[in-house]
Amino acid sequence: MLDLDGVVWLSGEPIRGAGDAVGLLRGAGARVIFVSNNSSPTVKNLLARLGVAGIRADADDILTSGQAAAAMLQPGATALVVGDDGVMEALAARGVHARRAADEAAVPGGRVDAVVVGYTERFDYTVLRRAADAVRAGARLIGTNEDATLPTPNGPLPGAGAILAAVVTASGVVPEVAGKPHEPLATLVLGRAGRVATVVGDRPSTDGALARRLAAPFALVLSGVTARASDDPDPVPDFVADDLLAVAREATR
């Protein structure tokens, strides 16, 4: 099970050797699935980015925190979304009637079942007010993930967790969180892949904690948000490597 941001790419730019690494793993007989806390891209977007990295994949190989958030709602439910196309796609596939808090049509009025918060750059005071108003009116507050940052080649950017924290502060409600390392995404992973042999990620608090939840070894790569092995990660990884290629070489020796 591979994370994407910080493992396969940074801001969509492939990390050196990622495609070769997946080839090595598959050549050794492993099924590789990609599990991302980033709910912003659509599955089609992710498949295209994998292609640029030299990795062939199918939609069934990809799981996202947006899909986990959608699975927490019943078909026919209504949602106000602070997020991008990926989470909107996942909600639509689930049969949830969703509208974006950033759209002009999303004016106050009419109760929704849930406010779903993911990563987006379309976030301002109006969006925050609409989301908080809906939560105070009784909507569930669901975060796709609580990652404070998103890794990029130029350093970390504010992540979905930063946006979620603003809505939590404004509404006074503790959120339900869908993505790694929480149960909703773990359930999707087990349903899709069954037993997980190894979790590879760059963030111990999410990838590592999910590995522990799945009773799987955790391989920490230093190509994303965790840049040094001396950062005293928690949980402690079972293996630390510079990048995914080094993990794959060790796993297939």
DSSP letters spanning 14-75: EPTTHHHHHHHHHHTT----EEES--SS-HHHHHHHHHHTT----GGGEEEHHHHHHHTS-T
Average pLDDT over residues 127-138: 96
- My answer on whether 162 and 192 are in the same domain is no
The whole domain housing 35 covers 9-64+181-251
pLDDT in tens, 232-241: 778 999 999 9
**Residue 3 resides in a domain:** no
- My answer on whether 70 and 169 are in the same domain is yes
pLDDT over 80 at 106, yes or no: no
**Residue 2 resides in a domain:** no
- With a pLDDT cut of 70, the percent of the chain lying above it is 97
Query: Of the candidates 150, 177, 204, which is a domain's last residue?
Result: 177
- My answer on whether 238 and 206 are in the same domain is yes
**Residue 1 resides in a domain:** no
- My answer on whether 84 and 164 are in the same domain is yes
The packing angle between helices 85-94 and 43-52, to 10°, is 130
**Residue 119 resides in a domain:** yes
Segment among 66-75, 101-110, 202-211 with least mean pLDDT: 101-110
First to last CA, the chain: 18
pLDDT value at residue 232: 73
- My answer on whether 105 and 129 are in the same domain is yes
- My answer on whether 83 and 163 are in the same domain is yes
- My answer on whether 149 and 227 are in the same domain is no
**Residue 155 resides in a domain:** yes
- My answer on whether 173 and 228 are in the same domain is no
Domain CATH code at residue 19: 3.40.50.1000
pLDDT in tens, 32-59: 999 999 999 999 999 999 999 999 999 9
d(CA 140, CA 50): 34
How confident is residue 252, by pLDDT bands cut at 50, 70 and 90?
A: very high
Q: Where in 101-232 does DSSP place strands (E)?
A: 114-117, 140-143, 149-150, 157-158, 176-177, 199-201, 218-221
How confident is residue 152, by pLDDT bands cut at 50, 70 and 90?
A: confident
What CA–CA distances, in Å, run from 224 to 156, 166, 228?
Answer: 9, 24, 10
103 given a catalytic annotation: no
**Residue 151 resides in a domain:** yes
pLDDT over 80 at 104, yes or no: no
**Residue 115 resides in a domain:** yes
Question: Which one of the listed residues 5, 61, 113, 147 is annotated catalytic?
Answer: 5
- My answer on whether 95 and 173 are in the same domain is yes
Query: Of the candidates 160, 177, 194, which is a domain's last residue?
Result: 177
- My answer on whether 225 and 100 are in the same domain is no
Q: Token pair of 191, please?
A: 């349903």
- My answer on whether 71 and 159 are in the same domain is yes
- My answer on whether 190 and 244 are in the same domain is yes
207 given a catalytic annotation: no
Query: Of the candidates 151, 177, 203, which is a domain's last residue?
Result: 177
Structural domains of the chain, count: 2
Average pLDDT over residues 189-201: 94
Average pLDDT over residues 146-161: 91
**Residue 29 resides in a domain:** yes
pLDDT value at residue 229: 67
